[in-house]
Amino acid sequence: MATSQTKDLIIVGGGIAGTCLAIEAQKKGMNILLVDSFGQNHSSTVASGLFNPITGRKFVTTWKAVEVFETLHDFYPRIEKEQGTRFFHSLPLVRLFPNVKASNDWDSSKPNPFISDDPYELPSYFDEGYGGINVEKGGYLNTISFLEAGRQMIGKNNVLEDEVLEPKDLVLEKNSVRWKDITSRKIVFCEGPGVRQNPFFQWLPFSLTKGELLEIETEFDLEPVIVTKRVFMFPIGKRTALLGATYDREDLELRRTLKARDYLEDRFKLFFRESYNIKHHRVGIRPTVSDRRPIVGRHPKHEQILILNGLGSKGVSLGPFIAQILVDHLSEGKLIPEEVNITRFFTFFEG
């Protein structure tokens, strides 16, 4: 007969969001269980891992960039130090102007904490074109290595690998939720695109986006710098680099496409002078939200059921920050900011 267990928190989904949440919850003293079938195609495991505080055609800072990037530059190096491993890479980042209009429209007099006045240096194999800006606090995360380190940190007794938690198997009690022989005060779904099949949250306005990346190899050593010009490129090894990314909301089949490869190569060749070979072609699907903000908080009818999802292409940068927000809400009763609170979509709920 199975021995019953009591937990403070069950976390469903072991991608970036779920792993950050588990680590932060344990830090606050919560007894957690992370449930995930790690063999599935996680968008986190095929993601580039890029983090960049400057976004959009107008080169603006991302949402709450100062707080978000302060948090991530503390969170990931702390895990590295505690686990004695390396997965966080802070690199110089140069964002090139795509055309002469963007160069002429750029107003360097506007202060921005992430844009340096210092001149950038590009290796000779890049074509500078119309110039660009020198971005600080950028870099990339080796997502697979982070997820492995995260599971080690969380502890094998607190992780159920290769398990699938079906919402229909949950038994809702007055102030808790029960699954198999486990009773938990709360459960948080961090299941990425799986949210579309979750009956508790199907009503939320998630859409899916397919992204494709190329891993390329050169015949010469690459300098440690990220360069973006409609697509991004950065080294992940001595002579290997990632090139990305596409954003497709029409073709959602989990398959590599020639269309995406051509799109990436055509744009890459506009600023890369040398030849290269394609080693791998990655593809993943992630959920996005119409207002481009994550969705965090409690189900409108069942307060013991929560969600953390919709980080989109900024999962690496937003993961630690949003996880801290939710943990502070659960442990200290702090309010979840309106911009990311699930309450902004309660009018969609008809239950």
What pLDDT score was predicted for residue 1? Answer: 41
Query: Distances from the Cα of 333 to the Cαs of 117, 297, 299, 325, 328, in angstroms?
Result: 42, 12, 16, 10, 7
Per-residue pLDDT at 326 exceeds 70 = yes
Per-residue pLDDT at 336 exceeds 80 = yes
Tell me whether residue 54 is in a domain.
Answer: no
Per-residue pLDDT at 316 exceeds 50 = yes
**What is the rounded average pLDDT for all residues in the chain?**
93
Let me know whether 126 and 247 are in one domain: yes
Tokens representing residue 313 in the block: 């292409």
Per-residue pLDDT at 20 exceeds 90 = yes
DSSP letter for 248, please.
B
Tell me whether residue 243 is in a domain.
Answer: yes
Let me know whether 120 and 252 are in one domain: yes
Let me know whether 24 and 86 are in one domain: no
Q: What is the mean pLDDT of residues 299-320?
A: 96
Residue that has been written with the tokens 């429209």 in this structure: 105
Instruction: Measure the CA–CA gap between 351 and 349, rounded to whole angstroms.
Output: 6
Q: State the total domains in the chain.
A: 2
Let me know whether 68 and 193 are in one domain: no
Q: What is the mean pLDDT of residues 52-63?
A: 90
Residue 3: alpha-carbon gap to chain centroid: 36
Domain containing 172: what range? Answer: 5-46+144-205+291-348
More confident residue, 104 or 298: 298
Tell me whether residue 266 is in a domain.
Answer: yes
pLDDT band at 37 (very low <50, low <70, confident <90, very high): confident
Let me know whether 126 and 148 are in one domain: no
Q: Which of 209, 215, 204 is nearest to 246 (CA)?
A: 209
The fraction of the chain above a pLDDT of 90, given in percent, is 85
Query: Distances from the Cα of 22 to the Cαs of 16, 57, 69, 308, in angstroms?
Result: 10, 35, 20, 12
Tell me whether residue 55 is in a domain.
Answer: no
Q: What is the mean pLDDT of residues 153-170?
A: 90
Q: Which of 208, 60, 220, 37 is nearest to 135 (CA)?
A: 60
What's the residue count for the chain?
351
pLDDT digits (tens, 9 = 90+) for 109-135: 788 999 998 889 899 999 999 999 999
Q: What is the mean pLDDT of residues 18-22?
A: 97
What pLDDT score was predicted for residue 110? Answer: 81
Q: Which of 14, 317, 48 is nearest to 149 (CA)?
A: 14
Q: What is the mean pLDDT of residues 69-79?
A: 98
Residue 59's φ and ψ, nearest 5 degrees, are 60, 50
Type of residue numbered 82: E
Q: What is the mean pLDDT of residues 227-232?
A: 96
- Among the candidates 251, 274, 289, a domain finishes at 289
- Among the candidates 289, 307, 335, a domain finishes at 289
Per-residue pLDDT at 194 exceeds 60 = yes
Tell me whether residue 110 is in a domain.
Answer: yes
Instruction: Measure the CA–CA gap between 232 and 313, rounded to whole angstroms.
Output: 13
Q: What is the mean pLDDT of residues 315-333?
A: 97
Q: What is the mean pLDDT of residues 316-322?
A: 97
Per-residue pLDDT at 11 exceeds 50 = yes
Let me know whether 73 and 134 are in one domain: yes
Let me know whether 162 and 278 are in one domain: no
What pLDDT score was predicted for residue 107? Answer: 80
What pLDDT score was predicted for residue 2? Answer: 56
What pLDDT score was predicted for residue 186? Answer: 98
Let me know whether 32 and 22 are in one domain: yes
Per-residue pLDDT at 346 exceeds 80 = yes
Tell me whether residue 177 is in a domain.
Answer: yes
